[in-house]
Structure 1
Amino acid sequence: MSNKHLFLNSGFVRAPLQNGVGRYVCQLQRIVLKFCKTHGSCRGLRDFIEQDLVDFAKQNPGVVVYLKPRRHRGPVAVAEYLNGDRVWMNLANKTHSEITKWIEVLRTQQGDIASTRLRKYQYTDHPSIQGPWTPFTFKNPELNTAVLPDQKFGANDRLPMSATEQLRLMFEKQKLEEGDVKTAE
């Protein structure tokens, strides 16, 4: 058994502050973009700063953006989150579009989960040998080779009509009958 878990923080996977239950709170608190004004590997980050940084700041008013020019150093993004995690990302020789995607990844994650030893609320001495359940556990294997949409797998006409659909049809029928009565008068 390995002892490498001794050097990792332990924690549970959960939505921070029940994020998304009432409203979404962006977990990215601050992002520091460090770059050189002349270094060749910083070209993509300089393009991002010139073209997209103002729009990023307007779309994310809760995120503080710092620019830190440094001489003869490679480009780096340091993201700090509400839970105290800091994620450092090297952006050397990345294009403008790649940096845009990586900044979006930093904005949408909740910190560095990879450096956390995940714990469970349950414990058992005899874990299942069948493996965890997934949504594909009891699916028909014919779905793997089917060309979708396929009437065989997606036929909903076999299902009974829902109550909402019945009410909608009754309402339309009632409107038609009222229209016929008004035209007859």
Structure 2
Amino acid sequence: MSNSNLFLKSGFVRAPLQNGVGRYVCQLQRIVLKFCKSHGGSRGLRDYIEQDLVDFASNNPSVVVYLKPRRHRSPVVVAEYLNGDRVWMSMHNKTHSEITKWIEVLRTQQGDVSATRLRKYQYTDYPSVQGPWTPFTYKDPKLNVAELPDPEFGANNRLPMSATEQLKIMFEKKQLEIKPKEE
């Protein structure tokens, strides 16, 4: 173990690793904007609250937004994530555009992963030279450029005709037989 890891807390990645494969779940749970109504260092955060906070809240309904006015204090943004991490960030003398960018960074990250020494659940003395297996390991590379749905890659082209499809064809044949007799 190197000296850089001695004072870091160790833990496992607690956020979903394949977040966004099926659907995306925003990891930001709550954001608290602490500011002073009269302090000059809070001007950028006050501008953000007046201009962009309503749009942020409507675009991110899963994030709870709290405003906490405090007298004669420096502005602070505290972000809390689904995995339990809290990130505290000072916004003293930051402009409106800088605060917009930092809040977007807080919204898109998973928590304070940089301050954690990551550990694995599995361990082996002989790691694989080929790399980890994924569901796409043995897939046909033509799939990368194909326009889907493509019958060449679908499983339906190898299946026999279903009973419903057979009934539809029989019904259409009967309809064609009945129509010439009626004329």
Report the TM-score when normalising by structure 1.
0.62
Quick one: which amino acid aligns to residue 51 of structure 2?
Q
1:115 partnered with 2:115: yes
CA distance in structure 1 between the partners assigned to 2:2 and 2:8 by the alignment: 12
Q: Distance in 1 between matches of 2:16 and 2:78?
A: 20
Q: 1:61 & 1:79 partners in 2: Cα distance?
A: 15
Q: How many residues get paired?
A: 131
- In structure 2, the residue corresponding to 1:114 is in which secondary structure? helix
Query: What residue ranges of structure 1 are gaps of 5+ in the alignment?
Result: 126-161, 165-185
Q: CA contact under 8 A between 2:15 and 2:83: conserved in structure 1?
A: no
Query: Given residue 10 of structure 2, which amino acid in structure 1 is its aligned partner?
Result: S
Distance change in 2, residues 1:123/1:25 (3 Å) = same
Amino acid at match of 2:65: V
Partner of 2:99: 99
Aligned partner of 2:38 in structure 1 is: 38
What is the aligned-residue identity percentage? 80
Query: Alignment RMSD, CA only?
Result: 2.8
Aligned to 2:76: 76
Kindly state the Cα deviation for residue 11 of structure 1 after the two structures are TM-superposed.
3.0
Structure-2 residue corresponding to 1:148: none
Amino acid of the structure 2 residue aligned with 1:110: Q
Equivalent residues in 2 for 1:5-16, closer than 5 Å:
5-13=5-13, 16=16
What SS does the corresponding residue of 1:61 show, helix, strand or coil?
coil
Deviation at 1:45, TM superposition (A): 0.1
Change (3 A) 1:123 1:14: farther
The gaps in structure 2 that reach 5 residues or longer are 127-144, 148-183
- Within-5 A mapping of 1:30-179: 30-120=30-120, 121-122=122-123
Q: Tell me how far 1:115 sits from its aligned partner.
A: 1.2
Equivalent pair of 2:32/2:78 in contact (CA under 8 Å): yes
For 1:9 and 1:45, locate their aligned partners in 2 and report how far apart those are by CA, in whole Å.
32
Larger deviation: 62-71 or 6-15?
6-15
Residues 94-146 of structure 1: per-residue CA shift (max 9 Å, x gap): 00000000000000000001111023555669xxxxxxxxxxxxxxxxxxxxx
TM-score, normalised by the number of residues in structure 2: 0.63
Structure 2 Cα separation of the partners of residues 163 and 2 of structure 1: 47
Structure 1 partner of 2:20: 20
